[in-house]
Structures are given as structure tokens and as C-alpha cells.
Amino acid sequence: MEIKKTKIIALAVALIMALVGLTACSGGNNDAKDTVNDVLSGYNDPSAVNTPSGGNNSGGNDNQSGGDDSIAHMGGTKGNVVYNMSGYAVDGSMGNTSGNLANEGFAAFSGDRVYYTGIFNNDYRDLRVLYSVKTDGSDKLMLDTSGATDINISGDRIYYISTHDTTIYSMKTDGTDKCALTEGRSHHLVVANGRIYYHNGNDDGKLYTMMLDGSDNRVLVDDRATYITVVGDDVYYLNDDESNRLYAIKADGTNRRLVIDNSRIREFQIVNGMIYWRQDSGQIVNSTTVALAEEGKSNIAGNTTTAVDRHASGGVVPSFNVCGDRIYYIYRNDSMDYYGSIYSVKLDGTDRVLISDDTVKDDYLIVIGDRIHYINYEDDRIYAVKTDGSGDKQLVE
């Protein structure tokens, strides 16, 4: 019976995805939300999440215990996650923060709601879906049966890349009027200044731009572009054709230029006019020569970088997110297998704080208000913890 039930769900989801994927923004209206909920609500309540038992997460500074080191860390508290958005702002006119988009943009904020990719239920963990919820934790809605990366909000519409087919979709923030803007193989989506910028895998990864309705879809530059960020009328990107050196070009396609002559950059973020990047060695650097997780000094792109943080056991920083006046990052030492712990430091590298010593997956670190979303390595579920490390972690999905 369980196998038959699984097949029914898979067929229903596939049918829905096929139908909604055929709709283009210029081609009409598709009220996806009601159909999605009608098909899936009979199997499981999307808002009901079973929490593994035991354990909690303790925050604070490095001297705090943070609980035991067993899988009991998967515990946490069950209940609505409440977000304090005081002082939290999206960079300029972008549809999400630079830090969140560099971490695959699994969540975004607009108005009084948070939009995020979650897990439908415990029995079918591979079914990622798109949710929205009010910042007070109420009124949770399932918007799409496809999970979403690169989530951007502009006006009353949400733009995202489907984890199902890597197509860029647009829909209203209530889940209606869903339409496809590309035909798969799209990555590194950014919405800014009334246009969409993205890596087009159907054209050798070139940097493309189009209007919000999918019109005027064209090449901005022939470079293979990743980690795209927009500041004012400048579009920044890593140029894969030039060994990941950081380039910029005007939004009108003029003034293509080299910004940082460094072939070791793996990702970057621009916050308040400052460029931060992570190198292949796992250290974080900014344009005023701040380095993270490296001892002593080294020469990077002709500048001397000074260490601002060093863990006694060495290790690397596989992910980071700059938000406000702090850098949040995952630290992993040699004894950790694809997971680490969450720390933060001030932008000058001082005041290192342990946020969570949970088994945190390397590649997911999202900051929404006073909460950090991360994925637990042991159970593959999404949790939230406060940005100051206080209180227990909470199960998101």
C-alpha cells in the first residue's frame, strides 16, 4: 500500500508540474496554489512536522557548552518560528540579499512574509516545496510543489529557479499566476531594477538579462558568469572563462571590466559597498584586506591580508553570509565530514561568537531577520536559530 501511495503522489506531482510548466507569462493565468493544495492535502498536512526527540542547541560565545555531540542535536523545539525583522533590509533594489543569493537563495523576505523552500513531510523527504509564512509564524501557505532556489521578490511577484527542472518561474506572492520564463538550465538568478539577470546554461553559461515578464531576453555579456550580484547599474559576476576572476559590466552592456584579479575566488558578496569573497582555501577576504580562518599573513591579488580569526584545529570556511554588521559562517575542521558549526564575527574580525554547534551542512546558510536557517547534516531537515546564538533552535521543516 505504501508503494502504491508513493506512486500516486509522484504521478500527481508530475502532472501538476507538467501543466504549470507549459504556461508562459505572456500566455495567460495559472492558479497553481489551489491545485497544489487540493492534490497534496489529502496525504499529509503540510504544516505538521514531526520533530526528532532529544537535545537542544545552546548559543553564546565559544566557552558555552552548546549541548552534547550526539544526534540528539536534531531535537530543538517545535512550533512556529517568529522572525524579528528590525534593522533587516534587502540590498538596494535587489530581490534578496547578496548573502542569501550566494547561499542559493533558499529563502527571502518581503512585507510581513518569509518565502522559503521546505520539506513536505517526513515520509517523502525528497519532495521539496515552496512555502510562505508570516513573520509571526502564522498563516503558512504551500505555494508550489517544486522547491525553489534563488528566490527573489519584486513587488507582488516572486521569482525563483525550480529544483524540479532548473527553469525560472514567476508567480504572485499568494501562489497564483505561475508562469515559466526560461526553458531549464538557468542558474544564479538575480532580480534588480526591474530586470532579471541569470546564467543561461542553454547558451554556454553566458550572462543573460530580460524584463520581469520574460520579454527582451538577451545576452548581456558572452562570459560564462556565476554568482551574479547587482549594485546600482553595475552587474558583478565571477568569470568562469577567466578562472573565476571578479568582473563587472554596466546593465546596458557597456564598460566590461576586471574588478579583482584573483583566480582563487569561489564566491563573493557585496554589502554596503564592500566586496567579500571566499577563496579556494576556505578563507574569507574583503577589499580592505580582512581574512578569516587563516593564520598569519598571505599575499592575495597584490594585497597583504591579515588574519582576523583562527581556530586552533585549522580547517576551512565552506559558506558565509554577510548581514548587517556581522559575518556569519560555517566552520569545518578536518574531523568534520561535509558539516560544520556556525560562528559569527564583526566585520573587522573581532567578537567571534559560536551560534550553533549542531551538525550543519556546508552549503546552506540563510539569514532572515534575527534568524539563521540551516540544514542539519544528520536528518536533512531545516532548522532556525537566532543570530546571536541565544535560545533553542527550532524546526522549520
Q: What is the pLDDT of residues 200-214, one digit of tens each?
A: 999 999 999 999 999
pTM of the model: 0.78
pLDDT at residue 132 in the model: 95
Alpha carbon distance 87, 144 (integer Å): 30
Distance, CA of 78 to CA of 296 (rounded, Å): 43
Low-confidence ranges of the chain (pLDDT < 70): 1-24, 26-79, 91-92, 120-126, 281-283, 285-314
Could you give the CA distance from residue 94 to residue 245 in angstroms, rounded to a whole number?
A: 23
Q: What's the pLDDT score for residue 366?
A: 96
Domain range summary for the chain, segments of one domain joined by +: 2-180+262-395
Are 121 and 46 in contact, with CB atoms under 8 Å apart? yes
pLDDT tens, residue by residue, 218-267: 999 999 999 999 999 999 999 999 999 999 999 999 999 998 888 888 88
| Contact in structure between 195 and 252 (CB atoms under 8 Å) | no
